[in-house]
Structures are given as C-alpha cells and as structure tokens.
Amino acid sequence: MFEWSEEQLAIRDAVRRFVDEEIRPKLDDLEHGDLPPYDVLRKLYATFGLDQLARDSFKRQLERKTSGAEPPARAGRGEGSNAAMALIPVIEMCKVTPGMVTALGVSTGLAAGTIMKRGTPAQMERWGLDLLTLDKIGSWAITEPNSGSDALGGMRTTAKRDGDAYILNGNKTYITNGPYADTVVLYAKLDDGSDTDIRHRQVLTFVLDRGLEGFEQSAPFRKMGQHSSPTGELFLTDVVVGRDRLLGETEKESGGGGRASAKDNFVSERAGTAAMALGVIEECLALSIAYAKDRVLWGKPIGEFQLIQLKLANMEVARLNVENLVFRHIEMSAAGRSLSLAEASAMKLYAAQAASAVAMDAVQLFGGNGYMAEYRVEQLARDAKVFQIYAGTDEIQVTHIAKDLLSR
C-alpha cells in the first residue's frame, strides 16, 4: 500500500466534513473552556455507525470468549476491524484536536480493550459493551505520583485480601478521562500479608465504577496541551471490591496476569500514537505551505527563502516516513500480523519525535504569528509534545527497542 484506496479516501472525506462541521466550531470550548469531549465523540460514533460496528464486534468477541476460541492476533480493537478504518479518523481528528483522540483511545482502546481481552464473559457484558459504544467513558489507571516509566515496579496502590473481597488503597495520577470516567480499569499490587518486597508483588487488575465508596475522582488538571483530553487523579481509600471486579475473577496468572495485561496494550497504543503524529505532521505541513506562499517579506513570499524551504523539506521527509510506517502497520494488520514490541516502539519513537519537531518548526516558520493561538500551530506543537511522553516516553521506547535487539 502506498496510498489510500477510494473507499478509504471516502471515509477520510466524511470524517473531514464532520471535523469541519462538528468539532472546529466547538474547538475553543474544548481546548480552553472545559467542554468535555464525550458528547462530540458520541455524535461521531452515531453519525458514522461506529456504535453499531462496536456492538457487532462485541458480539463476536463475546462469542469467541464463551466458546474458548483463540483470541485475535491483534488486541484492543477487536476481530475483523479494519486498521485503516480505525486510523483514518485518528489522523483526521488529530489535525485539529489530538486531545479528543487521546480521550477516545483511552476509553475504547485501553479501558475497553483490557476488559475485552482479560475479562470473563460476565465482565465483558457488564462493562465492555458500554465502553466500546461510548455509552460510558473509561479510564485506564496505572501511573502513580512516584511511578511513571517504572509503573509496575514502583506501583504502591495495594489490594489487600479481605475474605473473598479486596480492600484497595492508593492513588493514581495523570489518568486520561479520570475526572469523568464511569468505568476505571485499575492496577494494584496484591497485599497477601507476606513480606515480599512490594516491587515484586503480583499485580492485579480491577474494574471500578464511578461512585464506589472511598473512590474519588479529581477535577481536570491544567496542563501544557491536549486540553480536549481531561486528565486527573484518582484516590482510593479503603475501597471494598468483590471478586466480580477482579478482571478474570481469579488471581491465577494465566496469560501473564496483571503485568502482562498492562503490556498487552503497548503495541496497539504505540501504533495508534504514530497515526496521531501523522495527523499533526500533515496539518502542520499543509498550514506551513499555505503560509509560506502567502506571507510576503522583503517583497516576496517567504517560501522563496531557502531557510524556509529547508523547514518545509524536513517536514515532508517526516510526513513520508511516518506515513510509510502507518501504511506498514495497516498492511501487516491486514495480513493478520502484529508489530513486534520493538517495531511498535521504534515506530512510536520516530513518529513522536518527528511530530514534535515538525510542529515546533511550523511555529518557527510562522514567526510571531506562530506563537498566536489564531494560527493553530502553537496548539499542535503543545499537543504533539506529549507523544514523546505518554504511552511510554522516548527513553522507554529506546530501552524496549534495545532490549529486543540485544536479545536476538
């Protein structure tokens, strides 16, 4: 694949129209007015029939789980889904509001994906369907104030056995959708009364509902970018949960347990982030080309100056490279193959750095105008920066790539 097909272009055009008509007019409220993104996302789902597609996908996944059939090769988005169909809206929306895509991806990808992969059929029905259709909003809570990149080892949130139940204590931070989530997939260390160092204790995965006694959700944080994605803290004070909220309803670590559950999402999350980066790069390049033709200094368009041309050329190199990586992922997915962790990490590392560099170059190319919100590139530059931080920092991607290379 070297270009989008006719059908894919039709999907792109339809999403573009939706972005123009439904998102751009609300962008100020979403980015600066604390308007949560969920109603717009629900409208997106209803408009394009994505809610019905999610119901169909849920049914297939549930049947497979009930019958004990093999899980799909690619986790997170469900069997039979088309990677291109999932990524095109991501790319298009990221041209305007990457934050909204983050909110969507965490709810339907990380939260729902984890429940659908690791949950029992009853848990899938209880929480999975509503998350997949966006009827409910989900969070995926692993990061804590003193553990980010060291999320599993440094985790201090505990689940203490209490008969057949557990008592949860601790807090989580930087949780996407945290302030508004109806359903939270939460990781905690098992406190079985032994003196095992907490770093090495078993990690369990729980599903919590908004309003549980002792479970508090903070107001949204103020942050650098991605304002359309509400981020917050979660506080757990003696939250009592039954085994029905323990994902898989067993402590037995078939399939690797909680630690593996957390890592399940790495590949799809990193590939998705690269697609998000592509949207930012495409938009920054398009805006920069238009500006370079239009802005006149010393009697000629600035696009005629070689220092500007260098910026445009570098942006185009980045666009081609990231697009090729995204196309490769789509091709592999269509062939039923998954990226290795090293491949997904390399893809995310390159794409995130490229998006940040391109967006900052766009700000520079626009000069003083680039620093102003009206010209939009400053928002994209702020939004792109987190691509290098969330879903594994650049530094973590490097270690994952290197570990894989050195283990061969």
Partner 1 sequence: MFPMNVVVCVKQIPDPAAPQSLEPGTHTLARSGKLIMDDSDAYGVEMALQLADAAGGGEVTLVSMAPGGETSGLRTALAMGAAKAILISDDALKGSDALGTAKVLAAAIKRAEPDLIIAATESSDGYTGTTPVQVAELLGLPSVTFAKSVTVDGQTVKVERQTESGFDEVTSPLPALVTVTAGVVEPRYPSFKGIMAAKSKPVDTLTVADLGLDASTVGAAGAGQEITDVAEAESRSSGEIVVDEGDGAARIVAFLETLKVI
Which ranges of 207-305 does DSSP label H, i.e. alpha helix? Answer: 257-264, 266-294
Site of tokens 């790495």 = 266
Nearer to partner 1, 275 or 363 (CB): 275
CB under 8 A: which stretch of 42-50, 105-113, 271-279, 361-369 binds partner 1?
A: 42-50
- Per-residue binding string, partner 1, 131-150, x by CB under 8 A, is --------------------
CA distance 369 to 291: 10
CA distance 155 to 265: 18
Nearer to partner 1, 1 or 373 (CB): 1
Nearer to partner 1, 85 or 398 (CB): 85
Cα 111–Cα 25–Cα 20 angle in degrees, nearest 5: 80
Cα 339–Cα 229–Cα 259 angle in degrees, nearest 5: 45
**Closest distance of CB 11 from partner 1, Å:** 5
Q: Is 17 in the site for partner 1 (CB under 8 A)?
A: yes
Beta bridge partners of 184: 139, 208
- Residues 27, 50, 285, 384: which binds partner 1 (CB under 8 A)? 50
Report the 10 Å Cβ neighbour count for 222: 7
CA distance 303 to 34: 37
Tokens of 46: 């209803």
Mode of pairing for the β-strands spanning 231-241 and 215-217: antiparallel
CA distance 108 to 177: 11
Q: Is 208 in the site for partner 1 (CB under 8 A)?
A: no
- The number of residues that bind partner 1 (CB under 8 A) is 14
Nearer to partner 1, 17 or 403 (CB): 17
Tell which residue, 342, 352, 289, 356, has the closest CA to residue 322.
352
Q: Is 215 in the site for partner 1 (CB under 8 A)?
A: no
| Torsion from C-alpha of 121, 114, 87, 148, nearest 10 degrees | 170
- Residues 4, 35, 42, 48: which binds partner 1 (CB under 8 A)? 48
**Closest distance of CB 13 from partner 1, Å:** 8
Q: Is 52 in the site for partner 1 (CB under 8 A)?
A: yes
Tell which residue, 234, 246, 218, has the closest CA to residue 159.
246
Helix (H, G, I), strand (E, B) or coil at 49: coil
CA distance 206 to 131: 15
Nearer to partner 1, 49 or 145 (CB): 49
- Residues 28, 39, 49, 59: which binds partner 1 (CB under 8 A)? 49
Q: Is 7 in the site for partner 1 (CB under 8 A)?
A: yes
Mode of pairing for the β-strands spanning 158-162 and 183-191: parallel
Nearer to partner 1, 275 or 322 (CB): 275
Nearer to partner 1, 100 or 141 (CB): 100
**Closest distance of CB 59 from partner 1, Å:** 15
Tell which residue, 92, 121, 120, 118, has the closest CA to residue 104.
92
- Per-residue binding string, partner 1, 75-94, x by CB under 8 A, is ----------x---------
- Residues 19, 23, 41, 53: which binds partner 1 (CB under 8 A)? 53
**Closest distance of CB 40 from partner 1, Å:** 14
CB under 8 A: which stretch of 8-16, 147-155, 193-201, 237-245 binds partner 1?
A: 8-16
- Residues 4, 47, 221, 393: which binds partner 1 (CB under 8 A)? 47
**Closest distance of CB 257 from partner 1, Å:** 36
Nearer to partner 1, 44 or 351 (CB): 44
Give the Å distances, CA to CA, from 76 to 54, 71, 79, 172, 334. Answer: 12, 11, 9, 22, 15
Which residues of the chain form contacts with partner 1 (CB under 8 A)? 6-7, 10-11, 14, 17-18, 47-50, 52-53, 85
